[in-house]
Structure 1
Amino acid sequence: MSLAGSAAVITGAASGIGLACTRKLLSSGVSKLIAVDFTDKLSPAVADLQSEFPKATVISHHADVTDAPAFAAAFEHLGASEPLAVVANHAGIGGEADWEKTIAVNLSAAIVGTQLGMKHFGSEGGVVINTSSMAGLFPMSFGPVYTASKHGLVGYSRCFDHLAARKNIRVCTLCPAFVDTPLVQSLLDDPKAGRAGQMAIDELGGLIPMEKVVDAFMELVENDKHVGTVMTVTNKGGAVPARFP
């Protein structure tokens, strides 16, 4: 899959995995990138990216992904000259107390993003990458709501293999273990979940360097053999497609 001259929409683009994947897409030839986030970090992040990639157009779209109309407005920045090729739903939060918010961000907003991508892909199709977690494949006892949201996203994303042959649309899922991000750090700082989280990190070989996650993301984007792939990423095993019965 060639990204040269294409457009991409990425949520959670101001930090963490979203920002790292945004930078990689721009370096891989994406000429218009619409960065979606609700934090104050978005504007300076986009300014830095625009300076780093002056030939591309990097658009800051400040929106809460749980606000469907505000999220959908991000796609209004698309133009005819740069066909939409990639939609990456990276936005995610932890938190068990406000469980409805966790479900809304981690699952519902990604469903909306997937539907918007399918609506705006042209005749050449495109790829949607939904970032779940290893918690989407295995129970995380100290985060049952987070686990539910990520399991739901894996199941949802596996339902669209038939679109590859009909419309050249692929939907894949990225399932990293614990990555060195602010979200994981907030887990470790939690007095209730931190100890269990550290044990889980140690069991999976430690925190994953961001480069490994970005490489797995780009493998899903660029290799069109990945149709419905759920790509796990750990320090011990690297990037490996999950196997299902």
Structure 2
Amino acid sequence: MTKPFTGQVALVTGASSGIGRATAQAFAKGGAKVVVAARRPEQCEETVDLIRSAGGEAIFCKTDVAKPAEVKTMIETTIAGFGALNFLFNNAGVEGTTFTPIEDYAEDDWAQVIAINLTGVFLCTKYAMPHLVRTKGAIVNMASIAGLSGGRMGAAYYASKHGVVGLTKSTAIEYADKGVRVNAVAPAVIKTPMIERADLVGNDEIEQKMLSLHPLGRFGVPEEVANAVTWLCSEQASFVTGHTLPVDGGFLVP
């Protein structure tokens, strides 16, 4: 079986569960050494154990992507542990806890969502970029269909994901001549802990309404987003940069 990432190093933030964990496993399956980063040590160690039990190499670095000092330590840990950095998946994100019209939106919640979802992508990109320039590597950012459309009751989340799309475009243009490709993925509803917290799965009425918005007639699974991320990092996507790829079951088509 061909392993396209053999000898390369991937860093995945928010790798404690869901899409982050699935993507860390996908990189490892492809032969990459993986740095698993997130705020939850126990869950991240589970991701590391899953990779190692399948024959891969992985290390864990506890990281809050909203904190510059922790992001710098994460990058230093990556280089110290594996000697290089080829791929960065900026996946860490939160949905927030406020779902109200903007006049009632909690300011603290706004600040937290922007800090993690948008500033976190900026910080990780900033400190990883010198190493990615050396390897002519690739970045994939976690956007969302919320970054490509509008909606109600989630101002910070929509704003942060639109910001990720814009940051993806600007970074791709800035570093194209240095050989670094930068893209994003924009999932619709994917079966993850975040979706469970939002009560989109398990509530029959809400679930059926959301399913009706997906022409494929089902929600996605983390592995399907992981496949898109690893493809964007692979040589098969060598002429793709600055784009946001919907992984949405047709959600944005109608």
Q: Give me the TM-score of the superposition, normalised by structure 2.
A: 0.83
**Match 1:186 to one of 197, 213, 219:** 197
1:49 counterpart = 2:48: no
1:233 counterpart = 2:238: no
1:102 counterpart = 2:104: no
Deviation for aligned residue 1:28: 0.7
Partners of 1:92 and 1:80 lie apart in 2 by 25
Identity of aligned residues (%): 28
Give the 3-state SS of the residue equivalent to 1:140 in structure 2.
coil
Give the 3-state SS of the residue equivalent to 1:109 in structure 2.
helix
Deviation for aligned residue 1:61: 0.5
Deviation for aligned residue 1:82: 4.5
Alignment of 1:6-85 (within 5 A): 6-30=8-32, 32-39=33-40, 40-54=42-56, 56=57, 58-77=58-77, 78-79=79-80, 82-85=83-86
Give the 3-state SS of the residue equivalent to 2:124 in structure 1.
helix
Conserved? CA contact 1:163–1:169, under 8 Å = no
Matched to 1:207, the amino acid is F
Higher strand proportion (structure 1 or 2): 1
Conserved? CA contact 1:107–1:150, under 8 Å = yes
Conserved? CA contact 1:13–1:36, under 8 Å = yes
Higher helix proportion (structure 1 or 2): 2
Question: What is aligned with 1:129?
Answer: 140
Partners of 1:66 and 1:4 lie apart in 2 by 31
After superposition, give the CA deviation of every residue in 1:147-191 in whole Å (9 maximum; x if it has no partner): 11101111111113334542101110110101000101111269x
Partners of 2:90 and 2:245 lie apart in 1 by 15
Deviation for aligned residue 1:196: 6.4
Give the 3-state SS of the residue equivalent to 2:199 in structure 1.
helix
Conserved? CA contact 1:164–1:227, under 8 Å = no
Conserved? CA contact 2:211–2:218, under 8 Å = yes
Farther-moved stretch of structure 1 (211-220 vs 72-81): 72-81
After superposition, give the CA deviation of every residue in 1:179-227 in whole Å (9 maximum; x if it has no partner): 000101111269xxx9768634431243112232122112211111111
Q: What do you get for the CA RMSD once the two structures are aligned?
A: 2.6
Partners of 2:172 and 2:200 lie apart in 1 by 39
Give the 3-state SS of the residue equivalent to 1:135 in structure 2.
helix
Distance 1:160 1:196, change over 3 A: same
After superposition, give the CA deviation of every residue in 1:8-61 in whole Å (9 maximum; x if it has no partner): 11100110100000000011111x21111111311222123222224x2x1110
Deviation for aligned residue 1:71: 1.8
Partners of 2:238 and 2:143 lie apart in 1 by 20
Q: Give me the TM-score of the superposition, normalised by structure 1.
A: 0.86
Partners of 1:19 and 1:34 lie apart in 2 by 11
Distance 1:29 1:139, change over 3 A: same
Distance 1:200 1:80, change over 3 A: closer
Partners of 1:211 and 1:64 lie apart in 2 by 24
Q: Which runs of 5+ in 2 are unaligned?
A: 99-105
Deviation for aligned residue 1:116: 1.8
Give the 3-state SS of the residue equivalent to 1:25 in structure 2.
helix
Partners of 1:198 and 1:188 lie apart in 2 by 12
